[in-house]
Structure 1
Amino acid sequence: MGDLFWPGDERAGDLASEVAWLAAMVRVEQAWLDALARAGIAPGTVELTGLVGPDDLAEVAHVAEGAGNPVPALVALWRERARGLGAAWVHRGLTSQDVIDTSLVLMLRDAAERVHRELHDQVTSLVVLTHAHQGTLIAGRTLTQHAVPTTFGAKTAGWLTGVLDVADSLARIPLPAQFGGAAGTLAAVVELARLRGVADPVAVTTTVVADAASALALRAAPPWHTTRTTFTAIADALVTGTDAWGRIATDVATLSRPEIGELLERAVDGRGGSSTMPHKRNPVLSVLIRRAALTAPALASTLHLAAALAGDERPDGAWHTEWPTVRELARRAVVAASHTSELLRGLRVDDARMRGAARAAWQDLTAERRSIAAFVGKAPPDDDYLGAADAVITAVLARANAYLEARQ
Structure 2
Amino acid sequence: MSEYGLLTPGSFRAAGVVDDRAVADAMVRVELGWVSALAAVGAIDRDRAERIAAAAADWTPDLAVIGAATEAVGNPVVPMLHQLRERLQPADAAVVHRGLTSQDVLDTALVLLGADCLTRVRADLGAASQALARLADAHRASVMAGRTLTQYAVPITFGLKAAHWLAGLIEAADDVAATLAGLPVQCGGAAGTLALSGELTADPVALAAAFAGELGLVWPGLPWHTRRRAVTRIGDTLVATCDALGHLGADVATLSRPEIGELHEAAAAGRGGSSTMPHKHNPILSVVIRSAAMQSPQLGAQLHLAAALAVDERPDGAWHSEWPALRRLLELTVTAASQAAELAAGLEVDADRMLQRATDAAADLLAERGDDGAGDPASYLGATDAFIDTVLARLSTGGPEHA
The whole-number CA distance in structure 2 between the counterparts of 1:395 and 1:39 is: 50
Deviations 1:159-192 (A, max 9, x none): 0110001011111113010111011110011023
The whole-number CA distance in structure 1 between the counterparts of 2:372 and 2:177 is: 46
The whole-number CA distance in structure 2 between the counterparts of 1:35 and 1:275 is: 57
The whole-number CA distance in structure 1 between the counterparts of 2:280 and 2:266 is: 14
Deviations 1:25-65 (A, max 9, x none): 111111111222333323532125257524x1111111111
Q: Tell me, yes or no, if structure 1 residue 14 matches structure 2 residue 21.
A: no
User: How far 1:81 moved relative to its partner?
Assistant: 1.7
User: How far 1:278 moved relative to its partner?
Assistant: 2.7
Corresponding residue for residue 147 of structure 1: 153
**TM-score (ref. length: structure 2):** 0.93
Report if aligned partners of 1:228, 1:307 keep a CA contact under 8 Å in 2: yes
Corresponding residue for residue 211 of structure 2: 212
Q: Which amino acid aligns with 1:270?
A: G
Corresponding residue for residue 185 of structure 1: 193
Corresponding residue for residue 398 of structure 1: 393
Corresponding residue for residue 339 of structure 1: 339
User: How far 1:277 moved relative to its partner?
Assistant: 1.7
User: How far 1:209 moved relative to its partner?
Assistant: 1.2
User: How far 1:254 moved relative to its partner?
Assistant: 0.7
Q: Tell me, yes or no, if structure 1 residue 32 matches structure 2 residue 34.
A: yes
User: Once structures 1 and 2 are overlaid, which stretch shifts more, 207-216 or 298-307?
Assistant: 207-216
* Among 77, 100, 107, the residue aligned to 1:71: 77
Corresponding residue for residue 261 of structure 1: 261
Q: Tell me, yes or no, if structure 1 residue 115 matches structure 2 residue 117.
A: no
**TM-score (ref. length: structure 1):** 0.91
Report if aligned partners of 2:122, 2:400 keep a CA contact under 8 Å in 1: no
Q: Tell me, what secondary structure is at the counterpart of 1:86?
A: helix
* Among 137, 140, 148, the residue aligned to 2:143: 137
User: How far 1:405 moved relative to its partner?
Assistant: 8.7
User: How far 1:380 moved relative to its partner?
Assistant: 4.3
Deviations 1:104-143 (A, max 9, x none): 0000000000001101101110110000101110000011
User: How far 1:381 moved relative to its partner?
Assistant: 5.1
Deviations 1:280-339 (A, max 9, x none): 110011011011000011100000111111111111001001111111000110000011
Q: Tell me, what secondary structure is at the counterpart of 1:313?
A: coil
The whole-number CA distance in structure 2 between the counterparts of 1:77 and 1:65 is: 16
User: Once structures 1 and 2 are overlaid, which stretch shifts more, 30-39 or 89-98?
Assistant: 30-39
Question: Residue 364 and residue 323 in structure 1: after superposition, are their counterparts in 2 closer, same or farther (change >3 A)?
Answer: farther
Matches within 5 A, 1:344-355: 344-355=344-355
Q: Tell me, what secondary structure is at the counterpart of 1:187?
A: coil
User: How far 1:84 moved relative to its partner?
Assistant: 6.5
Q: Tell me, what secondary structure is at the counterpart of 1:334?
A: helix
User: How far 1:279 moved relative to its partner?
Assistant: 2.2
Q: Tell me, what secondary structure is at the counterpart of 1:331?
A: helix
Q: Tell me, what secondary structure is at the counterpart of 2:398?
A: helix
The whole-number CA distance in structure 1 between the counterparts of 2:365 and 2:83 is: 71
Report if aligned partners of 1:175, 1:219 keep a CA contact under 8 Å in 2: yes
Q: Which amino acid aligns with 2:402?
A: R
Corresponding residue for residue 376 of structure 1: none
Corresponding residue for residue 49 of structure 1: 56
Report if aligned partners of 1:272, 1:284 keep a CA contact under 8 Å in 2: yes
User: Once structures 1 and 2 are overlaid, which stretch shifts more, 75-84 or 110-119?
Assistant: 75-84
Q: How many residues align?
A: 389
* Among 123, 134, 150, the residue aligned to 1:128: 134
The whole-number CA distance in structure 2 between the counterparts of 1:69 and 1:276 is: 46
Report if aligned partners of 1:148, 1:366 keep a CA contact under 8 Å in 2: no
Corresponding residue for residue 68 of structure 2: 62
User: How far 1:72 moved relative to its partner?
Assistant: 1.4
The whole-number CA distance in structure 1 between the counterparts of 2:278 and 2:73 is: 55
Report if aligned partners of 1:134, 1:390 keep a CA contact under 8 Å in 2: yes
The whole-number CA distance in structure 2 between the counterparts of 1:327 and 1:233 is: 14
Report if aligned partners of 1:139, 1:365 keep a CA contact under 8 Å in 2: no
Q: Tell me, yes or no, if structure 1 residue 356 matches structure 2 residue 363.
A: no
The whole-number CA distance in structure 2 between the counterparts of 1:364 and 1:4 is: 50
Q: Say what the alpha-carbon RMSD is for the aligned residues.
A: 1.7
The whole-number CA distance in structure 1 between the counterparts of 2:117 and 2:126 is: 14
Report if aligned partners of 2:129, 2:400 keep a CA contact under 8 Å in 1: no
- Runs of 4+, deviation exceeding 4 Å: none
Q: Which amino acid aligns with 1:109?
A: A
User: How far 1:144 moved relative to its partner?
Assistant: 0.6
Q: Tell me, what secondary structure is at the counterpart of 1:149?
A: strand
Corresponding residue for residue 231 of structure 1: 231
User: How far 1:341 moved relative to its partner?
Assistant: 0.6
Q: Tell me, what secondary structure is at the counterpart of 2:145?
A: strand
Report if aligned partners of 1:149, 1:365 keep a CA contact under 8 Å in 2: no
Q: Which amino acid aligns with 2:173?
A: A
Corresponding residue for residue 108 of structure 2: 102
Q: Which amino acid aligns with 1:88?
A: A
Q: Tell me, what secondary structure is at the counterpart of 2:196?
A: helix
Gaps of 5+ in 2: none
The whole-number CA distance in structure 1 between the counterparts of 2:337 and 2:117 is: 11
Report if aligned partners of 2:126, 2:400 keep a CA contact under 8 Å in 1: no
User: How far 1:14 moved relative to its partner?
Assistant: 0.5
Gaps of 5+ in 1: 194-200, 374-378
Corresponding residue for residue 196 of structure 1: none
Percent of residue pairs identical: 50
